[in-house]
Amino acid sequence: MSSQPYSLDVLTQQLTSLNGFEYVATGGQKTVYAANHQEHGRVALKLLIPSSSPERFDREIASVNAIGNGRVPQVYESGRLIEPYHDHLWLIEQWVDGVSLKDKLAQGPISNALILQIAFDMLTVLVEAEAHQIVHRDIKPDNILIAPDESSCWLVDFGIARHLGRTSLTAGFMPHTLGYAPLEQLNCLKSEIDTRSDLFSLGVTLYECIEGVNPYTSGVTSVDEVIHRMNTVICPEISRLVDNKGDLKNLITSMTRQKRMHRISTAAEAYGWMREIFDMGAV
């Protein structure tokens, strides 16, 4: 795919509320542009790659709208393009001015205060998702954005979110990111997917924030080796204090147990624990 997948002239003609299009990236199921909206200012325009599932795109919008959390970008509009991009789906989303946690980690160690902010904000989102029976299923550094002043964080890309009350869109396979997805997701155990799956992924992400490496992918040479580690290696305890009480270590351990029945039970419980940690502050 070229660096400019869509004609800007066509986008301007069909999406009349937008102007000033800037190509951002193509990855996964979507192409993303930045643009200016007549009412909402700077926004993100996401266009669904035609081979992807329209129903999954609809569920992404439904997930975001249901959660309605200040740490999830709001969807303003959605629709379909016409010729020459017949039936290409699009959505216009709140623009988040921030850097991905993945890029932040690549720059070097991050502060204890930011680690606590990430944990607190992500658990705030998961509490709301849990209340609406939504599982993100792809929490990882790529999908967490950090504000320039590090005062807040957002969870993005609900493209493979699972609505527990709806029929699954996949058979024999469950979308995941190796190294962050828990065993029930790797093994396509759909009946076992719930908030505890997201808590595992967040726990691994927080471990990476603290230690600088993913415990399941660091130093591996093959997919099979990652899967073997996921099945046999317990996520290690963090090696340094982040919070004044030293409790974050125990919370991460509780979130990253291999068997979901051994993990902390709910996002609400994890949030309550994290609220106390956050209030006590960073080391």
The alpha carbons of the chain give a radius of gyration, in whole angstroms, of: 19
User: What type of residue sits at position 104?
Assistant: K
Task: Please say which residue of 74, 94, 114 terminates a domain.
Answer: 94
Residue 76 has pLDDT above 90, yes or no: yes
Confidence tier at 175 by pLDDT (50, 70, 90): confident
The four Cα atoms 243, 246, 247, 252 give a dihedral, to 10 degrees, of 80
Q: Interior CA angle at 159 toward 156 and 162, to 5°?
A: 105
Of 142, 231, 130, the residue nearest 186 (C-alpha): 231
Asked if the peptide bond before residue 84 counts as cis, ω within 30 degrees of 0, the response is yes
CATH number of the domain residue 84 falls in:
3.30.200.20
Q: Where are the beta strands (DSSP E) in 49-125?
A: 75-80, 89-94, 99-100
- Together in a domain, 80 and 137: no
**242 neighbors 210 (Cβ within 8 angstroms):** yes
* DSSP H or E run through 249: helix 248-255
Residue 153 has pLDDT above 80, yes or no: yes
CATH number of the domain residue 191 falls in:
1.10.510.10
Q: How do residues 7-65 score in pLDDT, each as one tens digit?
A: 999 999 999 999 999 999 887 778 999 999 999 999 999 998 776 667 778 888 888 88
**143 neighbors 61 (Cβ within 8 angstroms):** no
Q: Quick one: 7 exposed, middle or buried, by C-beta within 10 A (0-12, 13-18, 19+)?
A: exposed
- Together in a domain, 64 and 36: yes
Reported pTM: 0.92
**What percentage of residues in the chain have a pLDDT greater than 90?**
76
Tell whether 1 is covered by a domain: no
State how many domains the chain has: 2
- Together in a domain, 141 and 88: no
Task: Please say which residue of 48, 68, 94 terminates a domain.
Answer: 94
Tell whether 202 is covered by a domain: yes
- Together in a domain, 58 and 113: no
- Angle in degrees, 0-180, between the axes of helices 267-280 and 112-131, rounded to the nearest 10: 150
Residue 233 has pLDDT above 50, yes or no: yes
Residue 166 has pLDDT above 90, yes or no: no
Of 180, 68, 189, 207, the residue nearest 127 (C-alpha): 68
- Together in a domain, 186 and 129: yes
Task: Please say which residue of 61, 94, 127 terminates a domain.
Answer: 94
Of 277, 244, 265, 274, the residue nearest 123 (C-alpha): 274
| Whole-number Å distance between alpha carbons of 249 and 253 | 6
Residue 269 has pLDDT above 90, yes or no: yes
- Together in a domain, 37 and 105: no
| Whole-number Å distance between alpha carbons of 202 and 252 | 9
Q: Which residue has the tokens 């527990």?
A: 164
Question: Mean pLDDT across the stretch 254-268?
Answer: 97
173 vs 187, more confident: 187
Question: Mean pLDDT across the stretch 150-161?
Answer: 92
Tokens of 211: 């230690």
Tell whether 3 is covered by a domain: no
- Together in a domain, 89 and 106: no
Tell whether 256 is covered by a domain: yes
For position 262, what pLDDT does the model report? 96
- Together in a domain, 252 and 184: yes
- Together in a domain, 112 and 64: no
- Together in a domain, 47 and 161: no
Q: The domain containing residue 87 runs over which residues?
A: 8-94
In a 13 Å sphere around the CA of 72, the CA atoms on its Cβ side amount to 25
